[in-house]
Structure 1
Amino acid sequence: MTKTTPTNPTRLALLEHGKTMARQHGLRSITVRGLCQETAINTGSFVYHFGSRDQFIAELIEYWYAPLFEQIQWQQNHHADPLTRLHAMLRQLLSFVNANGAFIAQLMQDVVAGEIAAQRFTSTLAPRHPRILLQCIADAQQAGQLCIAPPLHQAMFLMSACGIPILLQHVLSGKELLPELLQQAIKQFATDPQHIDQRLQWALQGLMPNSKEFLHE
């Protein structure tokens, strides 16, 4: 469960600096000594507020994630129409991914690197905003607003079309790994808010029951 924003200034300073360090070099780069040096806070205060590095990293991830989950929950409860809810949730999610692409890219590397708190977070993510999105897709199908198909498959399609280019741009930022034409296309279209909205509109239209079906040999 996500936690409310801390009000204690020492606790908040440690979390904010930790978030900056994680965005730049990953959670795996954070040490208690280094964090305390960055914030000019003694290790005794760190231990008082968090107990251990592992507990700090776990709370840091929740502190970073909480705004998204709260926004998705708000959208779920403030739109009666399933497709309108879904569109609003996806816009919120994509905006979050766009603003936090560097953190997410590092988080994925943290998971691979064996950062326990990162692995625990990703392994327990399904019952949170993904569950809400999948239920909203199912509701839109029942309302006749989306074609009938496994909600998980449709969610994969939506995020592949809209979200993966954003993450790809953040992963590739500063690196020359792709052909120039493709790299320029990703740079131009991937993270621009108007182009993100356009991709989302295209993707949702493609899932509507009245969209044209293509014949395959």
Structure 2
Amino acid sequence: MNKPINATRQQLLDCGLELAKETGLRALTVRGLCQHAGVNPGSFVYHFGSRERYLAELLESWYAPLLRQMQWQQQQQPAALPRLQAMLRQLLEFISEHGGFIAHMLLDAAAGETAAQGFLSTLAPRHPKLLLQSIVDAQQAGELERGDPLHQALFLMSALGLPALTQHIIAGKPMLPGLIQQAFDTYAIDPRHTEQRLQWALRGLRPMESQP
């Protein structure tokens, strides 16, 4: 019995994401995907037409839940600093869950994978814009030090998200002594440590006159 058209399409997307999380986008081939999904190549062509169009839809479907969550926060939370905190937590949870795939995608883009490069080029007006707007709103409310919002956003992500991505990139590679590696893994991905860094970072960005 043939599967419904939408079920076949979703199966190809689900299997592709599973494979991409393991080996990255560069290693994902149409033949390998169809074998893994149990779908004939003709169905793949019918649904997506080409590998490039397939990968573009795969990345969008993977990213969409994060963007919807952050857009919801923007609409529902009028207070700037709590909104920024909530958005940062959502982004950090996403990185924690998908950090391996994000690391693969960054390496794919650096190696010339056009789907990864194309997707990354679309991000600026999406969740980064929401974060920047929340930073601007918090500055105007007197809750954050006045300054370049992009500089502050980069500071926050380097303190919060970058350690988790680094941990995923070096996972399984003997690059650090054992005890240091264990400590770094805890620092990078333990939710308690991440939350502590979030509070430290936001406290450091408070206006100087409000510092204790």
TM category, shorter = over 0.9
Q: Distance in 1 between matches of 2:26 and 2:116?
A: 9
State whether structure 2 residue 85 is matched by structure 1 residue 87: yes
Of the candidates 60, 67, 70, which is equivalent to residue 68 of structure 2?
70
Amino acid at match of 1:99: E
Q: Distance in 2 between matches of 1:106 and 1:74?
A: 28
Q: Distance in 2 between matches of 1:139 and 1:200?
A: 18
**What residue number does 1:107 align with?**
105
Q: Distance in 1 between matches of 2:127 and 2:68?
A: 9
Q: Shift in Å at residue 17 of structure 1?
A: 0.7
Amino acid at match of 1:122: L
Query: Runs of 5+ in structure 2 lacking a partner?
Result: none
Query: Runs of 5+ in structure 1 lacking a partner?
Result: 1-6, 213-217
State whether structure 2 residue 53 is matched by structure 1 residue 51: no
TM normalised by structure 1 equals: 0.92
Of the candidates 193, 196, 212, which is equivalent to residue 195 of structure 1?
193
Q: Distance in 1 between matches of 2:180 and 2:70?
A: 32
Moved over 6 A (4+): none
Q: Shift in Å at residue 183 of structure 1?
A: 1.4
Q: Shift in Å at residue 63 of structure 1?
A: 0.9
1:125-204 aligned at under 5 Å gives the runs: 125-204=123-202
Q: Shift in Å at residue 172 of structure 1?
A: 1.4
**Superposition CA RMSD, Å:** 1.2
1:73-118 Cα distance to aligned partner (Å, 9 max, x none) = 0111111100010000000000000000010000001101111111
Q: Report the secondary structure of 1:159's partner residue.
A: helix
**What residue number does 2:13 align with?**
15
What number of residue pairs does the alignment pair up?
Answer: 206
Q: Distance in 1 between matches of 2:155 and 2:180?
A: 21
Q: Shift in Å at residue 195 of structure 1?
A: 1.3
Q: Shift in Å at residue 192 of structure 1?
A: 1.1
Q: Shift in Å at residue 180 of structure 1?
A: 3.3
Amino acid at match of 2:195: D
**What residue number does 1:211 align with?**
211
**What residue number does 1:40 align with?**
38
TM normalised by structure 2 equals: 0.94
Q: Distance in 2 between matches of 1:63 and 1:161?
A: 28
**What residue number does 1:26 align with?**
24
